[in-house]
Structure 1
Amino acid sequence: MRLFKTCLALATSLLIAGCAPQPTPVTDTVTNLDAEAYMGTWYEILRLPNSFQEGLHQVTAEYRLNEDGTFEVTNRGYNREKGQWSTAVGKASPVEDMPGSFTVQFQWPFSGGYNVVELGEDYEYAIVISNDHDYFWLLARSPNAPRWLIDQTLAKASSWGFDIDAMIETRH
């Protein structure tokens, strides 16, 4: 009888969880990323908190295209508490048959997904997420992105299931 009650409770929990509203998954990346247009300096506007960027302000990412189609990434941010700059250099490799998706590695053997899910028409902004939804960035070509872009991005992030209350607006 105890086993029956346990199975019934488990089945009920799964049924209730299945009825809960689910966030809209982000499955599509941009379909035609022009790698050369994407290169250059980007300013971080929004991010989900993460351990490797803790306490960083004035965050930028600079991309340089390599001859083999990969690109070098230099991320930089200023830690005001420590009074010093933090820099990380990595390499991004395109994922075959998935435009806008890359595998980024800053420290061997660790790598992660870098997925460009939205780009401004003139590459003035980009929304980037990881494969597991643990990371989210809004990048722009200027450190002063318009408020409408930030609000629009937060609305999209919320619909995609990201915790927008945790988002950090980067100070420049």
Structure 2
Amino acid sequence: MGFTSLRMYLPAACVLALSACSTLPPPGITAVTGFEPARYSGKWYEIARLDHRFERGLTDVSAVYTREPDGSLRVLNRGYDPSAARWKKAIGRALFNGAPSTASLKVSFFGPFYAGYHVVALDAHYQWALVAGNNRDYLWILSRDKTLPPQVKAALLSKAAALGFATDQLIWVAQTRPDA
């Protein structure tokens, strides 16, 4: 391979290498094993999150996960933007980083770019979940209901803090719209 060919393929190789790294869990964080994608499918309400630009200002945020025939998950994220008085949504695709029995996925809403999605705590009945991204800047507390019992909330906050997340910076998402 000549220098010109190498220059042509190097940027693509770098993007692939970086995108592969960005889908792994943060150091010291392990995804749930014994995961059952069929039980995780369905609607989840976002109870809390660390702030990031793509959800900034949204209330009544939810995610619906649907299993696809190829083993991937379709992701429909939806949230209400009170400043624009309208719903926003994003449709993505999630792929398992390994075996589907480990809750470590990569999710894309923007073409070939993937980010990590790792369920790090999960109720035995799949009623609540603690989800980390590819670093400690991304954290979500999800529930099948619009609220969590205080003892569950306290346990999830304790777990997140023990994993090194800035729980004092969590945004508690209003879930008040009846059409959410």
TM-score range, shorter chain: 0.7 to 0.9
Q: Report the Cα distance in structure 2 between the residues aligned to 1:131 and 1:106, rounded to whole angstroms.
A: 15
Give the Cα–Cα distance (whole angstroms) in 2 for the partners of residues 45 and 56 of structure 1.
Answer: 12
Q: Secondary structure at the match of 1:30?
A: coil
4+ residue stretches of structure 1 with deviation over 4 A? none
Equivalent position amino acid for 2:162 in 1: S
The aligned counterpart of 1:4 is none
The answer to whether residue 158 in structure 2 is matched with residue 134 in structure 1 is no
Per-residue deviation at 1:149?
A: 1.5
The structure 2 residue matched to 1:75, chosen from 74, 77, 94, is: 77
Aligned partners of 1:43 and 1:97: how far apart in 2? 26
Give 1 or 2 for the bigger CA radius of gyration: 1
Q: Which runs of 5+ in 2 are unaligned?
A: 1-26, 176-180
Aligned to 2:17: none
For residues 55-134 of structure 1, what are the structure 2 equivalents within 5 Å? 55-97=57-99, 99-134=102-137
Using structure 1 for the length normalisation, give the TM-score. 0.82
* 1:148 corresponds to: 151
TM-score, length-scaled by structure 2: 0.79
Taking structure 1 as reference, are residues 66 and 97 closer, same or farther at Cα in structure 2, changes over 3 Å only?
A: closer
Q: State the SS of the aligned residue for 2:168.
A: helix
Q: How many residues align?
A: 149
> Contact 2:29–2:163 at 8 Å: present in 1 too?
no
Cα distance in structure 2, aligned partners of 1:129 and 1:76: 19
